[in-house]
Amino acid sequence: MTGNGQASGKPWQAVALTLFPQMFPGSLGQSLAGQSLAGQALSEARWALESVDIRAFASDKHRTVDDSPCGGGAGMVMRADVVDLAICATQQKTGDLPLVYMTPRGRPLTQSRVRALAEGPGVIVLCGRYEGVDQRVLDAHGVEEISIGDYVLSGGEVAALVLFDACVRLLPGVMGSDVSGDEESFEQGLLEYPLYTRPAEWQGRKVPDVLMSGHHKNIRAWRREQAEAATKDRRPDLWTEYALGPVDKDKT
């Protein structure tokens, strides 16, 4: 599936399946004056957001969406039958969008996966609550399980906002500069170099001389060195992949 929604004349579509639809758009509804960030892009219909209330698909009078885990244990588990109805109803409206479940059990979210999702027509994100979602419904729909880190949140909504934000900022016209995006952390397989701005000296700390030199080749070389040093020190896993991988190290 290639080409984002805008290429087909449709906005990029973000859908959240959640027990708390009021949590969306959250911070993604905000914008900064003069900058076409997520909130401004949403108002300009560069992307669209829908939150689907899973509880609306419960059939009993109490609108029950969870039950105790088979085999015993603490907490409750979201029911397969209710979640299935929510997924099916949503897919009937949206068509064949990637279906993602945010969970610490998932594969780590990477910039390359974000880029692939942003290049498509959109994504449906299932937001878990309680102890999680019945595995059977995940298997039945071939849901992709994604993690945003090795920690546990109260629910998947915050993680869904993270995924949406990462995707939306890559859509055409959302960020202020395409060049800026190319130089960010992970885009070249490295963490980003340190950033500085005016004043040239603050509390006895000076901006590195090379950044004030106007010598663009030297500046690019310095930034590359700094990015490599930070990656090697802070993310040895990324450094190993970068050192062995097919990244174009001459691109700056």
User: Rounded to an integer, what distance in angstroms lies between the CA atom of residue 103 and that of residue 108?
Assistant: 10
- pLDDT score, position 207: 96
pLDDT recorded at residue 30:
86
What domains, with CATH codes, occur in the chain? 5-168 (3.40.1280.10), 178-244 (1.10.1270.20)
According to DSSP, the β-strands at 205-206 and 201-202 are: antiparallel
SS3 content of the chain, % helix, strand, coil (to 5): 40, 15, 45
What pLDDT score does 179 carry? 46
Supply the pLDDT for residue 246. 66
Q: Read off φ and ψ for residue 221, nearest 5 degrees.
A: -65, -40
The pLDDT assigned to 193 comes to: 95
- Taking the whole predicted model, whether its pTM rises above 0.85 is answered as yes
Helix (H, G, I), strand (E, B) or coil at 13: strand
Look at residue 175 in the predicted model and tell me its pLDDT: 79
Give the mean pLDDT per block of 10 residues along the chain (252 residues). Answer: 61 98 94 72 95 97 96 96 98 97 97 97 98 97 98 96 97 70 73 95 97 97 96 95 70 42
The pLDDT of residue 184 is 63
Query: Residue 51 in 3-state DSSP?
Result: strand
